Chain A
Amino acid sequence: MSLFKEFSKGIIRENPLFRLVLGTCPSLAITTSVDNALGMGVAFTGVLIASNMVISALRKIIPDSIRIPSYIVIIAAFVSVVDMLLHAFSPDIYESLGIFIPLIVVNCIILGRAEAFANKNSVLPSFMDGLGMGVGYTLALTIIATIREVLGAGTFLGYAVMPVSAPSVLIMILPPGAFLTLGCTLAFLNMMQNRKKLKNKRNPQIKLNEQVAQLASSN
């Protein structure tokens, strides 16, 4: 049960892109099409799971004072592996992601999870944490890419979805569209959260129920 919790927290409650606002560079650069977003998400999830597992397995061996350089080397090794795998098996995705594959190394989410989770927990929870965070990040990338591709090119995964008469908004697949989409998505999520908070304030009974549920789960 608690393993499932480690998995599910990355998807909504601690979503790395929408809640923690980490890993913004690739989320702006490669979200011009859903294909790219999925490719990036899979590559990222692979690196995150592998590095999380290795770091948590070695957490008692790595001395505390040199842990950051050690983490970076471990992460860089897995990024090189993913880079070569993508180059060999899906050259199209490799071409379009370009420089952002080696740049997974400096994605703050991976180092952040290593520091915040993997070096305190054993291998299996670290695996679930990596999987959850990876899926959450992929989901966030896909949402942004869907908005940009549908509005900007009128397609979804390459298939035309918009009516021919609807003009495509070119700016959405140009650089400014990336900032605009992420900004509006974050604002929308903030709005939903504020509304939920307001509702809870109006209904003390719901708040009470939540507190009881929280107490019950902590015991």
Chain B
Amino acid sequence: MREMIIIIISAVLINNIVLSQFLGICPFLGVSKRLSSAIGMGVAVIFVLTLSSLITWAVQIFVLDKLGIGYLQTIAFILVIAALVQFVEMVMKKNTPDLYNALGVYLPLITTNCAVLGVAIINIQESYTFMQTFANSLGNGIGFTLALILFAGIRERLEDADLPKSMSGLPIALITAALMSISFLGFTGLL
């Protein structure tokens, strides 16, 4: 239990997936203009990231390793993730239309979110057990959501700021991210 808590804290704060591992930068820059859409995207990512990490872990252990075809890892994982996202979308549409209306638009974007594939591969590289995989992917999902929501909050304020013309838009967003990244560096000595 103690070990799982350490994995989660380390994934959320110390090795934050966006601000220190640079995975999932595209949605981080793309979906952070409004706080409400940031929350929707964050929840969708936590859900898909955890589910896909567990399934790809099972695929790796029970299929790829058993058959000795580890070199197909990239193809197998991306197919599993793409199929899973499609499946989740269909199930949501049928059973929980409210949730689908809230998160539906973000789901297709997640297939090409490198955080999902990245975390799935990291779990295998670190040779985590099933529970450790669960903790790590949940922690990374929460870390992504935390960074995205904080960033969206700052960007909403920045919109009213009086900026030089060439700085407005992406450049100032990236510099904001740099400052956030510096503050997350402060967690390095936490554990």
Contacts and interface: CB of A to CB of B under 8 A. Distances in A.
Interface of A: 21-22, 24-26, 28-29, 69, 72-73, 76-77, 79-80, 83-84, 99, 102-103, 105-108, 111, 171, 174-180, 182-184, 186-188, 190-191, 194
Interface in B143-172: 165-167, 170-172
Given A25-B25, A171-B182, A175-B181, A106 B166 contact: no
B178 interface: yes
A183 B74 contact: no
B73 interface: yes
Given A108-B26, A179-B174, A183-B178, 20 more contacts: A25-B22, A25-B24, A73-B75, A76-B74, A80-B75, A99-B121, A105-B78, A106-B114, A107-B114, A176-B179, A179-B181, A182-B174, A183-B175, A183-B177, A184-B171, A184-B175, A187-B166, A190-B167, A191-B166, A194-B166
Contacts of B79: 69, 72-73, 76
B75 A186 contact: no
A25 B114 contact: yes
B4 to A, nearest CB: 22
B132 interface: no
20 contacts: A25-B22, A28-B22, A69-B82, A72-B78, A77-B75, A80-B74, A103-B118, A106-B112, A106-B114, A175-B19, A175-B20, A179-B178, A184-B171, A186-B171, A186-B174, A187-B171, A188-B166, A190-B165, A190-B166, A190-B171
Interface residues of B, number: 41
A106 B182 contact: no
Contacts of A183: 170-175, 177-178
Interface string B115-139: 0011001100100000000000000
B21 to A, nearest CB: 7
Nearest to A112: B112
Interface of B: 19-26, 29, 71-75, 78-79, 82, 111-114, 117-118, 121-122, 125, 165-167, 170-175, 177-179, 181-182, 185
Contacts of B23: 25, 103
State the main secondary structure of chain A at its contact with B: helix
> 4 closest Cβ contacts across the A-B interface?
A183-B174, A179-B178, A187-B171, A190-B166
